[in-house]
Structure formats: C-alpha cells, structure tokens
Amino acid sequence: MAALVLNGKQLSLQMETDLTARVAALRARMSGGAGAEPPVLATILVGDDPASATYVKMKGNACVRVGMESRKVVLPQSASTAQLLAEVDALNADPRVHGILLQHPVPPQIDERACFDRIALAKDVDGVTVLGFGKMAMGEAAFGSATPAGIMRLLAHYKVELAGKHAVVVGRSPILGKPVAMMLLNANATVTICHSKTQGLPELVRQADLVVGAVGRPQFIKGAWIRPGAVVVDAGYHPGGVGDIELSAVIDTCAAYTPVPGGVGPMTIATLMAQTVEAAEKAAG
Ligand code: NAP
C-alpha cells in the first residue's frame, strides 16, 4: 500500500483559511469594528544571514495573507545583547504587539538564550522561552515551539497513532529536538532522543515506529536504517530540496512521511500564525 503523505502544505492552507476568518472576527468585535487594527506579529532579524532574512520575509508574507500586520525590527550584524534586549523590552511593553519572533540564529556575540528568555510569556508565540518550554513539558498552557508544535498538529490531523509507539528523535536542539521529544512524550509515545554523541544510531533508528529527523545534515538518516511501516517526519531542509532523511529510499516502504518541501516547513509558519492569533484573542479577552 502506498505511504500516506503527511501534506503540510495542504494543511497549512486550510489553517490559513481558518485564521483569516478568526482575524476578521476578532477585528469585528474590537472597538473599531471591521476597521479595528489587526493583530501584530513583530519579527526581529539580527545580522545579514540570507536564509534568516528569507524565513522572516516568509513569516511576514503569511501575516499579510491572514489579515494580520507584521512589524519588522532589523538590527545590524554588530548588534549587542543589550541592544537586542532593549528591542525585546520595547515590544513587550507595546500593547499593539501580540507576538514576538526573534529569528534564530543571532550573531555569535549575542547571548541568544538571554534574549529569547526576555520575551514576555504571553507574546512568546514561537515558543522559545525556558518558561514556555517548562510549562509545555509539564502539560501546562503555553505556546509550543513552532516547528515541533507544527509537527504535532500534522500528526494529529492525519490521526497518526502515538500512544505506546516508540518515537526516535534524532537531534536535541532547544527549538526542535528537545521540544518535539517532550511533546511526543506528552502524547504517550515512548521516546528516545539521539544526538552527536549517541552510539549505534542506525540500530536505534531501526527500533522506531516514528522517526523524527532534526539533525541539520542533508539526508544524514539513511533509508536502510528505517524499518518498513514506520512513520517518517523530516524537519530538515537543504539546498536541492532534500531534508535530513533519505526519503526517496523509504517512500515505498514506510507507513507515512512528510515530504520535503511541503511537509514540516509550511506547518512551522502556519503554527506561528495560529499562535499569534491566539495571543491576540487572549489579549482582547
Ligand atoms: P541544530 O541546532 O544544529 O541541532 C542539530 C542536532 O543534531 C543537535 O542536537 C546535534 O547533536 C544533532 N546531531 C548533529 N550531528 C549528529 C550526528 N552525527 N548524529 C546524531 N545527531 C547529530 O539544528 P536545528 O535547529 O535543530 O535544526 C535541525 C534541522 O531542522 C535542520 O535541517 C534545519 O534546517 C531544520 N529546521 C527546520 C525548520 C522548519 O521550519 N522546517 C525549523 C527549524 C529547523 P548535539 O546536540 O550533540 O550537537
């Protein structure tokens, strides 16, 4: 039987339709009626990494598509931690701003963790703060890290069974591997987290009912490591349109997979939009 395609592009379009209606409804019930100001996602881009600039632009475009406003803050490559903290403080204090996205990575002289953690919890729509992570891990209300939360939405949409399944996550970054492992654990999967010091990685991946590739290396996880019938989630994206998993080798044998592109990537942006709309709805009471 052909593998199920976990079509993130399609689901993200459905989510955008729903979000457009929610934004319109929110504006209609605010004091200015339909003319009321739209929800605002503030994006902060530091430095001149072209990939980061592209991601921020894509997020800004998505805001416009659902009727929100995106406010761009751009800091030079030479910016200091103090400068970035001051920008975050200003956005935290601005009642017009509902969500704050600080694009990762920032230049090396900046204390990225300190800047992430300065984002007010109510505006942490990208789910990057230690407090938000802790709350999510404990099953309390908090916005999840956008890529992992997008993966979980996609799995839920396609009714992928997680309870009791063995999930193997390859990667443990603060924005991806660690939070997705916690979310899978909260969904009652049995979770193995692998990283650069893991020994016997192919054997561990072979045990997986569900594999998450979050390594940052093109096609690092080989098709031969993945057992037939597994669910394959590839968070990676590299030039040439490949991810972190050798997908071409498993699409005929796995149960389901996220395509690259069109799987996890669009879900990240749609989840960021959804969490910003939710933050605006909460702010409006
Ligand atoms: P990252 O911060 O570089 O983390 C990579 C992780 O992979 C680390 O935990 C590292 O282990 C682990 N790793 C490196 N080499 C390994 C090896 N030989 N064996 C096992 N594990 C190894 O990357 P990231 O930010 O999590 O991103 C991961 C991937 O997801 C990238 O391809 C990125 O482009 C993609 N991504 C996509 C989206 C999206 O919206 N679609 C968003 C974010 C990221 P250590 O901890 O031991 O160093």
Q: Is ligand 1 within 6 A of the CB of residue 198?
A: yes
**Does residue 264 contact residue 138 with C-beta atoms inside 8 Å?**
no
Q: Is ligand 1 within 6 A of the CB of residue 148?
A: no
The whole-angstrom separation of Cα 255 and Cα 263 is 15
59 is catalytic: yes
The whole-angstrom separation of Cα 285 and Cα 281 is 6
Tens digits of residue pLDDT in 171-195:
999 999 999 999 999 999 999 999 9
282 is catalytic: no
Q: Is ligand 1 within 6 A of the CB of residue 216?
A: yes
Q: In the numeric block, which tokens belong to residue 247?
A: 């997908």
Write down the catalytic residue from 123, 124, 126, 135.
126
Please state, rounded to an integer, the average pLDDT across all residues of the chain: 96
Q: Is ligand 1 within 6 A of the CB of residue 150?
A: no
Confidence (pTM): 0.97
209 is catalytic: no
Q: How many A from CA of 171 to the centre of ligand 1?
A: 5
Q: How many A from CA of 104 to the centre of ligand 1?
A: 13
The protein residue with its alpha carbon nearest to ligand 1, atom 2, reads 173
Question: Crossing angle for the helix pair 177-186 and 130-137, nearest 10 degrees?
Answer: 20
- How big is the chain, counted in residues? 285
Domains delineated in the chain: 32-122 (3.40.50.10860), 146-264 (3.40.50.720)
The protein residue with its alpha carbon nearest to ligand 1, atom 17, reads 196
Residue 219: what are its φ and ψ, rounded to 5°?
50, 40
Q: How many A from CA of 215 to the centre of ligand 1?
A: 3
The whole-angstrom separation of Cα 124 and Cα 83 is 19
| 3-class DSSP state of 233 | strand
Q: In the numeric block, which tokens belong to residue 73?
A: 């803050």
Write down the catalytic residue from 59, 123, 135, 178.
59
Q: Quick one: pLDDT at residue 37?
A: 86
| 3-class DSSP state of 48 | coil
**Does residue 126 contact residue 101 with C-beta atoms inside 8 Å?**
yes
Cα torsion angle, 158, 162, 165, 167, sign: positive
The whole-angstrom separation of Cα 3 and Cα 151 is 18
pLDDT in tens, the chain (285 residues): 789 999 999 999 999 999 999 999 999 987 666 567 899 999 999 999 999 999 999 999 999 999 999 999 999 999 999 999 999 999 999 999 999 999 999 999 999 999 999 999 999 999 999 999 999 999 999 999 999 999 999 999 999 999 999 999 999 999 999 999 999 999 999 999 999 999 999 999 999 999 999 999 999 999 999 999 999 999 999 999 999 999 999 999 999 999 999 999 999 999 999 999 999 999 998
